[in-house]
Amino acid sequence: MENLTTLRKYDDIYWGETSLNTIDLDNKLLCTFVDQENLDALLSNIISSYSIKYNKIFVLHVKSTGEYALTYNVDHGNVSHIPANTILVHRNKASNTLYTINALNELIKSLNGGIVDTSYRISWQHYKNSILLTQEGQFKQLGTKIHEIVEI
């Protein structure tokens, strides 16, 4: 399994115990990375600390690293901080792809001759069951599999 310290080098991970006074989290999807050893403790912490919208936390296993990604919507009214190793993601429901805006821009650039064009059409099925991130400015695709859906 890849060392979590190494994995944290993803450009998209920018929150650690960060104040959210200036960040609007209404209807935003968060993704927190954790190793297996700390999975249960993190789940308990998230459940006891936040009002989870839709009453579900999706626990995804990241195949290439052996770690887990927890995805959840948080009711912004009771949030004063976000756990370390958390990113804001978007989701393409048809392909079950999670992605950051940085990763989407890098992907479009790589597919469109170096040009970021917001009207460029992505063939999402190529990225099915994945998390798209950037690492050192480069696009990175992490394959995922649902490990568990935690009903709250």
Domain annotation covers residue 20: no
Half-sphere exposure of 73 (CA within 13 A, CB side): 10
pTM for this predicted structure: 0.81
pLDDT for the residue 137: 82
Domain annotation covers residue 107: yes
pLDDT tier, 27 (very low <50, low <70, confident <90, very high otherwise)? low
Q: How far apart are CA 99 and CA 26, in angstroms?
A: 18
Domain annotation covers residue 49: yes
User: What is the span of the domain harbouring residue 118?
Assistant: 4-15+26-151
Domain annotation covers residue 97: yes
Domain annotation covers residue 21: no
**pLDDT of 72-120, one tens digit each?**
998 766 666 788 999 989 999 999 999 999 999 999 999 999 999 989 9
Q: How many structural domains are present in the chain?
A: 1
Q: Which residues of 76-98 are buried (b: 16+ CB within 10 A; e: fewer)?
A: beebeebbebbbbbeebeebbbb
